[in-house]
A and B are shown apart, each in its own frame.
Chain A
Amino acid sequence: DVKVTQSSRYLVKRTGEKVFLECVQDMDHENMFWYRQDPGLGLRLIYFSYDVKMKEKGDIPEGYSVSREKKERFSLILESASTNQTSMYLCASSFSAGFNEQFFGPGTRLTVL
């Protein structure tokens, strides 16, 4: 079974702090994704990586950066957390072949005070 794990289930940070969210997948997937889920807005893509050290902006990249130094690990970084970044963050991975399902981690509920 594909396993996608995220470093924290719940996280509370203060405005202005630097926040790291880590994601690891064990299926040798080429693609990794970061989404945020907000009520009434569905899942919105923040960043996407299709290979090590490669990244592509999603629909809402402002205020975020990412790092992919190893194939299995994809990190989301909030350089200076703000209250409007309070959300559920979901990591996903998939094979690279066009039409493929994505496998999701359990999510990190981030609260910025």
Chain B
Amino acid sequence: DQQVKQNSPSLSVQEGRISILNCDYTNSMFDYFLWYKKYPAEGPTFLISISSIKDKNEDGRFTVFLNKSAKHLSLHIVPSQPGDSAVYFCAESLGTDKLIFGTGTRLQVFP
């Protein structure tokens, strides 16, 4: 049973500081992960991805780290901005065009 878990339903961070969102997975066969960001009343938008051939992928203020031995990935946002306040979903690609999504973490960045 493939599962993707985001154990923190919410996170509150001060503007300018680092936000760290975590995700754990159980399936090791297809190590390709994506992060999506979702604002209220909008669809999720793709943010960043990482495959098993890397342990880090960076795009501007966003960096995703993959720890395969721990089956854990994390998204770092530095520096955090109020516009980053949203729900963040991690997702695992099964290599079959389908994605398994986590339950999401609501990030609030306050001034």
Contacts and interface: CB of A to CB of B under 8 A. Distances in A.
Interface residues of B, number: 25
A19 to B, nearest CB: 19
Contact of A43 (B9, B96, B101): B101
Interface residues of A, number: 30
Given A40-B9, A43-B89, A103 B97 contact: no
Contact of A42 (B32, B42, B93, B101): B101
Interface string B31-47: 01010100001111110
Given A50-B97, A98-B97, A42 B49 contact: no
Given A4-B43, A100-B93, A107-B43, 9 more contacts: A9-B41, A33-B98, A42-B102, A43-B89, A50-B97, A97-B97, A98-B95, A104-B45, A107-B41
27 contacts: A4-B43, A9-B41, A31-B97, A33-B98, A41-B103, A42-B89, A42-B102, A42-B103, A45-B98, A48-B97, A48-B98, A50-B97, A90-B43, A97-B97, A98-B97, A99-B32, A99-B93, A100-B97, A101-B34, A101-B46, A103-B46, A104-B44, A105-B43, A106-B41, A106-B42, A107-B42, A109-B41
Interface of B: 6, 9, 30, 32, 34, 36, 41-46, 49, 51, 89, 93, 95-99, 101-104
